[in-house]
Amino acid sequence: MKEITITDNNDFSKDVLGKVYTKLFGFKNNGYFVEIGVGRCLPPAGSNTANLADIGWEGICIEPNTNYIEEIKNRHVHNNVRIYNYAAGSENRTTYIKGDTLDNETFNSFKSVGWYEEQILKETPVKVEEKITNDIFKEAEVPAKFDLLTVDVEGWEYEVIKSIDFAKYRPLVVLLEVRYNDPFFVRNFPELAKTSQQSVDVLLNNGYRPVFQQHDNPNQFFICDLLGGAVLQ
């Protein structure tokens, strides 16, 4: 996918993510998104979907860390966004988040990199409610067909993706954090690289194909050919 020249004055269109959204959706202002793994939603961008919400999109944000919920609410106080304090996954259970991940392999693997003690070890585990992704979609009344699903959950992507019934819920575009093609992760975190590849395989097996990955960034876009994605080549 080629980089897009943007002439609109909206700040949303000036970064790479905004340019790709514009390529995929034009200047659509009435789309629907699901964002799983929002984080702190701090300015300027806030999250992968905050700027979409600012221009009129409706959607839901799913974030496990209770400490971030108020910040997300404040970011979307004027937007048509509903917020769910769950960890999307493949089970219904109570568990703990460490840093920004529920995945023990991710957490323990961080011991091999220098910033572990400074950044991760100081994190206090936070009690969270994990809920099957499909069940969250049902509770939130997510439409069967919608524009964008974005998943950024720090090593937990496969648990999220494999618990979505893509025969029932069919986003046109999926934005997924991937690590299977990152040499650093393949070398240092082989299990994470493996589950990342499994996440991609689920999408490929459900009619999606990769269309764009930002340079030096793990975010990769996939588009659904079954919903007419071929016209966006």
Residue 3 lies in a domain: no
Query: What is the domain-level CATH number for residue 221?
Result: 3.40.50.150
Total domains, the chain: 1
Share of the chain above pLDDT 90, in %: 49
Mean pLDDT of 222-226: 82
| Residue 202: pLDDT over 60 | yes
| Residue 6: pLDDT over 70 | no
Between 147 and 215, whose confidence is greater? 147
Residue 57 lies in a domain: yes
Q: Where are the beta strands (DSSP E) in the chain?
A: 32-36, 58-62, 81-84, 87-89, 93-97, 126-132, 145-151, 170-177, 208-213, 219-224
Between 18 and 7, whose confidence is greater? 18
Residue 1 lies in a domain: no
* Cis-peptide, bond into residue 210, ω within 30° of zero: no
Domain residue limits at 99? 11-232
pLDDT digits (tens, 9 = 90+) for 47-88: 999 999 999 999 999 999 888 999 999 999 999 999 999 999
pTM above 0.75, yes or no: yes
Residue 102 lies in a domain: yes
Mean pLDDT of 85-101: 82
Share of the chain above pLDDT 70, in %: 77
Q: What is the pLDDT of residue 123?
A: 64
Q: What is the pLDDT of residue 98?
A: 67
Mean pLDDT of 7-27: 69
What is the C-alpha to C-alpha distance for residues 209 and 228, in angstroms, rounded to an integer?
12
Q: What is the pLDDT of residue 7?
A: 38
| Average pLDDT score, the chain | 81
Residue 55 lies in a domain: yes
In a 13 Å sphere around the CA of 118, the CA atoms on its Cβ side amount to 3
Mean pLDDT of 83-101: 84
**Burial of 131: CB neighbours in 10 Å, binned 0-12, 13-18, 19+:** buried
Residue 6 lies in a domain: no
Q: Which residue is listed with tokens 């993510």?
A: 17
Residue 94 lies in a domain: yes
| Residue 115: pLDDT over 60 | no
Residue 73 lies in a domain: yes
Q: Which two tokens stand for residue 81?
A: 């966004």
Q: What is the pLDDT of residue 116?
A: 47
Q: Which residue is listed with tokens 């994605």?
A: 229
pLDDT digits (tens, 9 = 90+) for 18-42: 888 888 898 899 999 999 999 888 7
